[in-house]
Chains A and B, each alone.
Chain A
Amino acid sequence: MSDGAPLLSTRGLTKRFGGRAACRDVSFDLWPGEVLGIVGESGSGKTTLLNCLAGRLEPDEGSVTYETASMGTVDVHGLSEARRRLLARTEWGFVNQDARDGLRMGVSAGANIGERLMAIGGRHYGNIRRDASDWMTRVELDLGRLDDRPTTFSGGMRQRLQIARNLVSNPRLVFMDEPTGGLDVSVQARILDLLRGLVDRFHLSAVLVTHDLGVARLLTHRLMVMQGGTVVEHGLTDQVLDDPQHAYTQMLVASILPV
């Protein structure tokens, strides 16, 4: 077993909006190579939790620590903003549900992919373009579209571009917020398959928020079920889905339409 330290740890994480706790007392460890799913209905606090984990939202209580590649264990919310942003664009990725939030819509696909490289000092146009081309191919985008803007791309293509833009810097941890939400089922399948392959190939760790238990089954190793801001169940994905213990999880699982 790969022992050592967990990649990401959170303890007692609580975030309130006004008097209401959007997520309350969440604790878990994410180990290298693990994909953790957070499931629950809209409003259950999944996205708030994800944003707190990714350092995008300051929690009211609790801690998030991350084991960096080069500077040891860091307290994500104790880092200076400069360090945190550096971490976010080198060791982390963040895939938004709406690709428009994660892409620069006004510049070409190649520039979108190359941005992280340039942000960390890439100053050789030819090399940046070569890496961008490699990633276009990896996410199954036509190389002929390298200089086209994402405004001319379909929803599925934009999402694949967003994935490439995030993975080009070889992150170790990727946060995903409903990466296939709002896409056609056939387009979803392709993206899920792509993500699955990339996670395997690059030994990525990931935290994935979804309300789709099918997506969770396909992509995640472990699941946390959230209801009203608290984690009501936590376990191996197949345990949670095949032998749900909590009333809410049983209801979620029973609500899946059979195909």
Chain B
Amino acid sequence: MLPVLRVSGLNKSFVMHAQGGLALKVLEDVAMSVAPGECLALVGPSGAGKSTLLRALYGNYRPQTGSIRVRHREAWVELVNAEARTTLDVRRHTMGFVSQFLRVIPRVATVDVVAEPMLRRGATLEQARDRAQFLLSLLGIPERLWQLPPATFSGGEQQRVNIARSLIADYPVLLLDEPTASLDVANRDGVIDLIRQRREQGATIVGIFHDVAVRDALATRLHNVALPGAQA
């Protein structure tokens, strides 16, 4: 399979103006490419820049130089220095991001929080709610919670809501940041099954998995991430 995500020469530093313009180099000359059906696991010690790389792939962090190209609407799109609406369109149709934390929207029912990405891609309310309910039950969120906003849920529940929200839209490219952290074993296995299913259907996945069992279950390939300077 030809890759759908290509990264080359990627550099990212954080400049802290409050500390006299201190520059912290996190990514240096990063290159990789990922094809459909692959799950690339980012590995490396804590603080090595795995999350920074993942967030840069999503367009959340802005690299100084380099290239991140993704197949989007049957064309290559450059995400480094892309226009806001380009990045937003890629996020709406091509790239999903599963993080550990749910950004809660006040007063919106859980089922609608989950359904939203599918609605934005043009599904009907009924289709989106059906699919949302299916995912919520698969992920073990009790039905009595579906109509409540997730603000008061436990950390694990919020995370599963977030996973359901990220997986509902069948994005061709999925970025996973510790998708199973703080889940119990039963729920963790449910999430693994869902992600593996997506991979087998041809999704392109890049993820950070601290849990070795999860990594072994999902990853098809490893990619080492190390702080610049610490590599050699």
Indicate if A touches B (C-beta under 8 A): yes
Interface size on B, residues (CB 8 A): 22
Q: Roughly how many angstroms separate A218 CA and B87 CA in the complex, as a whole number? A: 18
Q: Are B85 and A242 closer than 8 Å at their CB atoms?
A: no
Question: Which residue of A193, A238, A239, A245 contacts B105 across the interface (Cβ within 8 Å)?
Answer: A193
Q: Which chain B residues lie closer than 8 Å to A192 at the CB level?
A: 106
Most B CB within 10 A of own CB, among A31, A34, A222, A236: A236
Q: Which of B14, B88, B107 contacts A236 (CB 8 A)?
A: B88
Task: State whether B86 touches A243 (Cβ < 8 A).
Answer: no
Report B43 CB to chain A, min CB distance, Å: 23
B87, A193: Cβ atoms closer than 8 Å = no
Q: Which of A31, A243, A254 has its CB near the most chain B CB atoms (within 10 A)?
A: A243
Contact A221 B84 (CB under 8 A): yes
For the complex, what is the distance from the CA of A34 to the CA of B103, rounded to whole Å? 20
Q: How large is the interface on A (under 10, 10 to 19, 20 to 34, 35 or more residues)?
A: 20 to 34
- Set of chain B residues within 8 Å of A189, measured between Cβ atoms: 106-107
Closest to B103 in A: A217
The B-contacting residues of A in range 212-259, CB under 8 angstroms, are: 217-218, 221-222, 235-236, 238-239, 242-243, 245-247, 250-251, 254
> With an 8 A cutoff between CB atoms, is A1 at the interface?
yes
Residue of A nearest to B14 (CB): A243
CB distance from A236 to the nearest CB of B (A): 5
Question: Min CB distance, B144 to chain A, in Å?
Answer: 22
- The yes or no answer to A196 lying at the interface (CB within 8 A) is yes
- Contact, CB under 8 Å: B85 / A245: no
* Complex interface: chain A residues within 8 A of B15 (CB): 245
Give the nearest-CB partner of B85 in chain A.
A31
Are B61 and A243 within 8 A (Cβ)?
A: yes
Which residues on B sit within 8 Å (CB–CB) of A236?
Answer: 59-60, 84, 87-88
